[in-house]
Structure 1
Amino acid sequence: MADDIDMHLGRRLRRRRRLLGLTQQELARACGVRFQQIQKYECAANRMSAARLWQLAEALEVPVAYFFEGLSELRAKSRLREEGGEVFARKETRDLVRAYYQLGERPRRRLLDLAKSLHGGEAEG
């Protein structure tokens, strides 16, 4: 997940820099680093320290929180992919899905309604 976070921060950095019409060189100068360092941040080859995030936020005229916007959704999607991967790796799940799609549309809907009602019954009981 750390790589996903670094990539997210890098994308946010690039987006804001471009929105302001700054080159990597100009942003680097404002932060006291070389433009190659900005390149590495943007492509997530290097991680940004808290101090560097602060400098970048100041140079880009945004709060530090700007870099983290949308990160919760990214983490949730990542977690779903991981959990879904485990569920769909089971033979039982694959067999159930195959059987489900071999049914006609009406029986599929009825089976889905049944499954939902069973799940609801367990939650109440």
Structure 2
Amino acid sequence: MRRNMLGMSQERLGESLGITFQQIQKYEKGTNRVGASRLQAIASILEVPPAFFFENAPTQDAGPGGGLSEDSSMTSVMEFCSSQEGIQLNRAFVKITDPKVRRRIVDLVKSLSADDLDQ
């Protein structure tokens, strides 16, 4: 998501790391694990702390059998933020500097989504 927010291609990130874009695809899909030093390098290139990649991560379930649990609403939020619409919306929204305008946009979106629930 961060790479997309910056408008960076998988190829460009791969070149910065000295690896192929296919390897970046595997990291992003979760096919291959990312080592600590590689994660540090990716964080540096994407200008975020390594902890960024663990925010809202699945947590250990305290119930019997353990396992990982993830809030389904957070999953849908992350999927939206990774979509083209989500990226475009986020890029445009962060360019709005007036906090009052930002608040009004949030209120507008909330009111529109509430209308959809009533139908």
TM norm structure 2: 0.50
Give how far 1:79 is off: 4.5
Larger Rg: 1
Gaps of 5+ in 1: 1-14, 84-125
Partner of 1:109: none
Q: How does 1:23-42 map to 2 (within 5 A)?
A: 23-42=9-28
Partner of 2:80: none
Cα shift readout 1:22-76 (whole Å, capped 9, x = no counterpart): 01000101111110110000000000000110110011000011011112xx215
Equivalent residue in structure 2 for 1:56, among 33, 42, 49: 42
Structure 1 residue matching 2:59: 3-state secondary structure: helix
Give how far 1:19 is off: 0.3
Report the CA distance shift for 1:59/1:81 in structure 2 as closer, same or farther (over 3 A). farther
| AA aligned opposite 1:43 | K
Q: How does 1:1-125 map to 2 (within 5 A)?
A: 15-71=1-57, 74-76=58-60, 78-79=61-62
Give how far 1:81 is off: 9.0
Structure in which a larger fraction of residues adopt helix: 1
RMSD: 1.7
4+ residue runs of structure 1 moved beyond 3 angstroms?
A: 78-83
Gaps of 5+ in 2: 67-119
Structure number with the bigger relative contact order (C-alpha 8 A, sep ≥ 6) is 1
Cα shift readout 1:3-34 (whole Å, capped 9, x = no counterpart): xxxxxxxxxxxx00000000100010111111
Report the CA distance shift for 1:40/1:81 in structure 2 as closer, same or farther (over 3 A). farther
In the alignment of these two chains, the number of paired residues is 66
| AA aligned opposite 1:46 | N
